[in-house]
Amino acid sequence: MHLEWFDRVCGELQDSLNSICDKYGENGSMLIERGAKHPRIDFFTERGVDERDYFCSLFFDPHNEEFYIQMVDPEYGHISKVILEDIEDIIDAVHQSFHDYLEDQDAISEVGVLDEETDFDISDEVEHELLLAEIDVEWETPEVTAYYKENEAEVSYQFGITEDTGEGVIKRINRSWSDDEELVKDETIIKFSKEEASTLIAMIASHMDSIRGVDEFMQ
């Protein structure tokens, strides 16, 4: 991996963004993921304790030694790769993404989008759908059922690998049936590197005896 250009940009980016934008200096942060097949820099704001809003991911292709961001067509869901030639282009792209995020947050605050019947923030659902649309995954397994109780609940998992970065992806599908037999489906997806996978496996394995089964905590 040739990461000299990646490391130079990482070193300059935070200070450059702080100097051109007071709002970013007050709210913006960045997280460097160097171990991925395509290293990346994630940009986010702190929304609360252990809560982050990610507004931009900057990827680096070590083979071609170029930075890029991914854009999603809101109508068709197609993903395009935008190459950023130099540090000025990179700063401009992140800066624009930050202000687009701020505008979206202002719009959400004004409208106060809250679904009173299901009691969840619609913006969270939109963010989740965009995340699913952004990830181009080669699924390595079919859906594997982890728990099933007839006419009540079903939980299944599916494993895949992202085609662009080579990260692992786990999709959790939760299906439940209401009293009037209406099916409710909820999907959650997480991405992780090889190093994260080994840590997760070790953590879970060492605490298996402490975890309760579904039937136990539903009693």
The CATH number of the domain holding residue 202 is 3.10.450.700
- pLDDT exceeds cutoff 80 at 154: yes
Question: Token pair of 169, please?
Answer: 């992806």
Question: Token pair of 183, please?
Answer: 């099916």
- pLDDT value of residue 188: 82
DSSP state for residue 210 in the 8-state scheme: G
Q: Which of 128, 206, 212, 213 is nearest to 171 (CA)?
A: 128
174: how many CB neighbours lie within 10 A of its CB?
14
Span 15-27, pLDDT tens digits = 888 887 888 877 8
Domain match, 9 and 102 both: yes
Contact 119, 106 (CB under 8 A): no
Question: Token pair of 193, please?
Answer: 């590197």
Span 155-180, pLDDT tens digits = 899 999 988 888 898 888 888 887 77
| Distance in angstroms (rounded) separating the CA atoms of residues 31 and 40 | 8
Residue with the larger pLDDT of the pair 75 and 195 = 195
Gap between the terminal Cα atoms of the chain: 53
Enclosing domain of residue 52: 4-133
Domain match, 70 and 144 both: no
Question: Token pair of 211, please?
Answer: 């975890």
Domain match, 119 and 176 both: no
| Distance in angstroms (rounded) separating the CA atoms of residues 197 and 36 | 12
- pLDDT value of residue 67: 92
- pLDDT exceeds cutoff 50 at 91: yes
Domain match, 105 and 147 both: no
Domain match, 27 and 94 both: yes
Contact 13, 30 (CB under 8 A): yes
What's this model's pTM, rounded to 2 decimal places?
A: 0.49
Span 174-208, pLDDT tens digits = 888 877 777 787 888 888 888 888 888 888 888 87
Parallel/antiparallel/unpaired status of strands 168-177 and 120-121: unpaired
- pLDDT value of residue 187: 80
- pLDDT exceeds cutoff 60 at 70: yes
Percentage of the chain with pLDDT > 90? 7
| Average pLDDT of every residue of the chain | 78
Contact 5, 12 (CB under 8 A): no
Number of domains within the chain: 2
